C-alpha cells in the first residue's frame, strides 16, 4: 500500500518559511561568506529554525556533534524522518543545499530534484542519491512513490514546489511548525495557492515552548 504525500515546514507567524533572498543564494554559491546579504539571511534563518537545530536528532543528522535537546520537538523531528521513504525537492533548494549539506546529507533515502538540467544521479554517503527529473512533478512523484514503498513521500520544498503539488491535488497532509517570529517580508508558503481548489482540515495541534505543531489534512474543494 502506497504511503502518504506530505510536506513539513517551519513557518513564521506572518506566513514565511524562509527569509527574502536579497542576494544571499548568490553569495552562498560564490563563497562570499562575508556578504551582508548572506549574514542577514542566516540571522533570520537561524531565528526561524533555531528550535530544530537545537534538537538532538537534528544535531546528529547534520553531524553537529553530541548533545542537544530531547522531548516533544525532538520526537517530532525523528518521526518525520522515520516516515519519509523518499523526498522531492525544487532545483533552487537543491542548489543551496548542495553547497551546505555534509558529504553525508540529512536524507538517507532517494531524493528527486525537479530541474531542466540533465544530470546523472549523484550518489552520496548514508544512502542518499539525488535523481534529476526533467519531466514534471507527476513523474517525480511516481518515481519517489516507487522508491518509498509503503513509507511516505515528503515534498521538501521550496515554497513554489509545495504549491505546485498542492494545486495539482497531490498532497495528503501538511505539517507546519509555527514559530513565534515575524519576518515582514520573505518567502510565503501559500503564495500562488489556488484557494478555489485547495482546502485544509486541522487534525491536531500540539504546543511546545518553541513552536506549535499543526497537522492538517489537505483536500480538494
Dump pLDDT digits (tens) for 85-133.
Answer: 999 999 988 988 887 788 899 999 999 999 999 999 999 999 999 999 9
Cα end-to-end span (Å), the chain:
25
Question: Three-state SS for 32?
Answer: coil
0.75 exceeded by pTM: yes
Average pLDDT, the chain: 92
Q: Percentage of the chain surpassing pLDDT 70?
A: 95
| Rounded Cα gap, residues 36 and 88, in angstroms | 31
Which of 92, 214, 112, 96 lies closest to 155 in space, CA to CA?
A: 112
Q: What is the mean pLDDT of residues 64-87?
A: 95
Instruction: State the total domains in the chain.
Output: 1
State the pLDDT at residue 31.
Answer: 67
Q: Which helix (H) or strand (E) holds 88?
A: strand 84-90
CATH number at residue 174: 3.40.430.10
* Domain that includes residue 107, residue range: 5-220
Most distant pair of Cα atoms in the chain: their distance? 49
Q: What is the pLDDT of residues 184-206, one digit of tens each?
A: 999 999 999 999 999 999 999 99
Amino acid at each position: 500500500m502506497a504511503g502518504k504525500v506530505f510536506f513539513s515546514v517551519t513557518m513564521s507567524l506572518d506566513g514565511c518559511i524562509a527569509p527574502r533572498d536579497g542576494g544571499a543564494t548568490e553569495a552562498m554559491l560564490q563563497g562570499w561568506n562575508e556578504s551582508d546579504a548572506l549574514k542577514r539571511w542566516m540571522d533570520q534563518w537561524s531565528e526561524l529554525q533555531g528550535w530544530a537545530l537545537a534538537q538532538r536528532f537534528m544535531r546528529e543528522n547534520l553531524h553537529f556533534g553530541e548533545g542537544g535537546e530531547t522531548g516533544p520537538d525532538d520526537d517530532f523531528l525523528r518521526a518525520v524522518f522515520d516516515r519519509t521513504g523518499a523526498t522531492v525537492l525544487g532545483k533552487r533548494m537543491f542548489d543551496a543545499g548542495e553547497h551546505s549539506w555534509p558529504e553525508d546529507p540529512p536524507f538517507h533515502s532517494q531524493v528527486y530534484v525537479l530541474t531542466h538540467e540533465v544530470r546523472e544521479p549523484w550518489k552520496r554517503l548514508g544512502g542518499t542519491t539525488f535523481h534529476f527529473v526533467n519531466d514534471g512533478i507527476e513523474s517525480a512523484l511516481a518515481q519517489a512513490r516507487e522508491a518509498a514503498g509503503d513509507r511516505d513521500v515528503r515534498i521538501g520544498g521550496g515554497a513554489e514546489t509545495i504549491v505546485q503539488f498542492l494545486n495539482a491535488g497531490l498532497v495528503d497532509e501538511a505539517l507546519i511548525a509555527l514559530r513565534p517570529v515575524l519576518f515582514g517580508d520573505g518567502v510565503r508558503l501559500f503564495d500562488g495557492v489556488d484557494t478555489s481548489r485547495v482546502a485544509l482540515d486541522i487534525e491536531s495541534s500540539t504546543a511546545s515552548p518553541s513552536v506549535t505543531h499543526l497537522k492538517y489534512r489537505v483536500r480538494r474543494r
